[in-house]
């Protein structure tokens, strides 16, 4: 613990201005924000410092996805005449060791090594439980009037009969495999399932991905459908619209019994990967006992100021069950810390929040989907542009994907943008800025964009509202 950063109560207990529970991205963001404002902060961590993103989430998964992309791009090089390339995994353990080295480096450089820079932040390791007057850590009361809970989430287990009797992987274990299985069944078609299914498939594993509805059920249906077809083109089996009946061990592997198209079907694979979502880490923290209301899924209920239902207790990040992206966790934590210290003047705004799924093509979105707009009573207009209309895609000989824009039909203001493209993640921020600044699709369509870029597709998609861009010459718009 850093010295000289706290007072004591009359009972001799340590007294801080703020206690932050959770030492991941949200926790560090909250602690640093408060410390920079002069607050005395206790940062309480349990387990490996750095939380999900750096240790078992964003960093290791994207490192492995990039490696698998290299394999795929070599195989796909033949789309250019006269080019042939090959790539293979020569040493899987060397690849995972390199990934682990990156994780360790970032854990230190972005988390543990920066703590000494903040003399008014005390890092305390232990199991935390909220109590009257502060937080109890392994039975010792740490005192503060304000508390921020940022304890994140853990992998959820689906309600399938027999699930407790079979060995299965979570995303954490899937990224730590010593050797690749011959086949794997991925249960869950959300962003984690899609990313890992494609990574494993490109690494040579026979992959089947199953889901109750469709891949990326929150995405635009045109994007979900197209992504499923691209997966199938790569040899990944996609089976959606299923009903899960039971799961069991067999001599041939792990068998999932499902109902598909009204028929009972069994799917067998050597290993199973569960990617059916995340559950908030709120159990055993004494939250409800002190008046912090939890939602039915176990997440902490907060308002737009990041306040819980208990005065003085705030929450931020994945534990709130909202916008489970590391940058939104850090953003919400900054708001929580500033409000805790300065009177609740800041509000959480996710109206222009970009989101990316790192499949290939990438799925990038911001704002409302067409369905969400209609549910809000907005008279929505949409445009859909396939990538065979984007010169960059034609030159790259990779026209997989589409761009869908959603606008208010009365004002022409852009209210949603959804991109499926190999470089979609690098284009979505332009759409986010357009939505943030209240641009119309006419405004976006009249802007100057660099030629032969993926982001130029946004301009063409905006023009598609009122014209046929196939009739334009290059750069004529």
Q: Which residues pair with 192 in a beta bridge?
A: none
Domains 7-50+111-155+279-342 and 355-467 share a fold: no
User: Alpha-carbon distance 16 to 194, whole Å?
Assistant: 43
Query: What pLDDT was estimated at residue 471?
Result: 78
Question: Domain coordinates of the chain in residue numbers?
Answer: 7-50+111-155+279-342, 163-276, 355-467
CA proximity to 408, closest of 432, 446, 442: 442
> Which residues are within 8 A (CB) of 369 and not within 5 positions of it... i.e. 6 or more apart?
218, 219, 220, 406, 416, 418
Below-50 pLDDT ranges, the chain: 1-5, 10
Query: What pLDDT was estimated at residue 106?
Result: 97
User: Alpha-carbon distance 20 to 337, whole Å?
Assistant: 9
- pTM here is 0.94
Query: What pLDDT was estimated at residue 25?
Result: 97
Task: Give the Cα-Cα-Cα angle 347, 353, 356 (nearest 5 degrees).
Answer: 150
Query: What pLDDT was estimated at residue 4?
Result: 40
The domain 163-276 is placed in CATH, from the list 3.30.70.940, 3.40.50.880, 3.50.50.60, 3.10.450.40, at 3.50.50.60
- In CATH terms, the fold of domain 7-50+111-155+279-342 is FAD/NAD(P)-binding domain (3.50.50)
Quickly list H helices, 126-182. 171-174
Residue in the structure block whose two tokens are 């100021």: 305
Contact of 186 with 206, CB cutoff 8 Å:
no
Residue in the structure block whose two tokens are 């005449």: 81
Query: What pLDDT was estimated at residue 7?
Result: 57
Cβ burial of 270 (10 Å; 0-12, 13-18, 19+) is middle
- If one looks up domain 355-467 in CATH, what number appears? 3.30.390.30
**How far lies 404's CA from each of 364, 368, 388, 455, 461, in Å?**
11, 11, 14, 13, 7
Query: What pLDDT was estimated at residue 2?
Result: 44
Give tens-digit pLDDT for 358-399: 999 999 999 999 999 999 999 999 999 999 999 999 999 999
User: Alpha-carbon distance 349 to 59, whole Å?
Assistant: 26
């Amino acid at each position: 613990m850093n010295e000289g950063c706290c007072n004591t109560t009359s009972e001799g207990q340590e007294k801080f201005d703020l206690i932050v529970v959770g030492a991941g991205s949200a926790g560090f963001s909250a602690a640093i924000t408060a410390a920079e404002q002069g607050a005395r902060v206790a940062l309480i961590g349990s387990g490996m410092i750095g939380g999900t993103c750096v240790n078992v989430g964003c960093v290791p998964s994207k490192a492995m996805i990039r490696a698998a992309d290299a394999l795929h791009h070599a195989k796909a090089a033949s789309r250019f005449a006269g080019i042939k390339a090959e790539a293979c995994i020569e040493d899987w353990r060397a690849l995972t060791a390199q990934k682990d080295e990156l994780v360790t480096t970032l854990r230190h450089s972005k988390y543990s090594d920066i703590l000494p820079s903040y003399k008014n932040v005390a890092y305390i390791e232990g199991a935390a439980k909220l109590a009257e007057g502060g937080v109890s850590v392994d039975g010792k009361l740490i005192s503060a009037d304000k508390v921020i809970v940022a304890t994140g989430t853990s992998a959820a287990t689906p309600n399938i009969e027999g699930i407790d009797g079979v060995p299965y992987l979570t995303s954490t274990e899937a990224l730590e495999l010593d050797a690749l299985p011959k086949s794997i069944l991925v249960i869950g078609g959300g962003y984690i399932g899609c990313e890992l299914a494609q990574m494993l498939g490109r690494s040579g594993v026979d992959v089947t991905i199953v889901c109750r509805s469709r891949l990326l059920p929150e995405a635009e249906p045109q994007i979900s459908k197209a992504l499923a077809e691209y997966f199938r083109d790569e040899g990944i089996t996609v089976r959606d619209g299923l009903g899960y009946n039971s799961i069991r061990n067999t001599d041939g592997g792990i068998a999932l019994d499902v109902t598909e198209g009204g028929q009972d079907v069994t799917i067998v694979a050597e290993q199973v990967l569960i990617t059916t979502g995340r559950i908030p880490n709120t159990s055993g923290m004494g939250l409800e006992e002190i008046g912090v209301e939890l939602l039915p899924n176990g997440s902490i209920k907060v308002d737009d100021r990041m306040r819980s239902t208990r005065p003085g207790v705030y929450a931020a990040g994945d534990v709130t069950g909202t916008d489970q992206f590391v940058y939104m966790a850090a953003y919400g934590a900054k708001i929580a810390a500033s409000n805790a210290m300065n009177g609740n003047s800041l509000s959480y705004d996710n109206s222009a929040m970009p989101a990316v799924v790192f499949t290939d093509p990438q799925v990038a979105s911001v704002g409302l989907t067409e369905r969400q707009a209609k549910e809000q009573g907005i008279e929505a207009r949409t445009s859909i542009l396939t990538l065979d209309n984007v010169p960059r895609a034609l030159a790259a000989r990779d026209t997989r994907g589409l761009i869908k824009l959603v606008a208010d039909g009365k004002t022409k203001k852009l209210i949603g943008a959804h991109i499926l493209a190999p470089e979609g993640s690098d284009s979505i921020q332009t759409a986010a800025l357009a939505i943030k600044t209240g641009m119309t699709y006419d405004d976006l369509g009249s802007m100057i964009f660099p030629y032969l870029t993926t982001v130029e597709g946004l301009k063409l998609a905006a023009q598609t509202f009122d014209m046929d861009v196939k009739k334009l010459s290059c750069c004529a718009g």
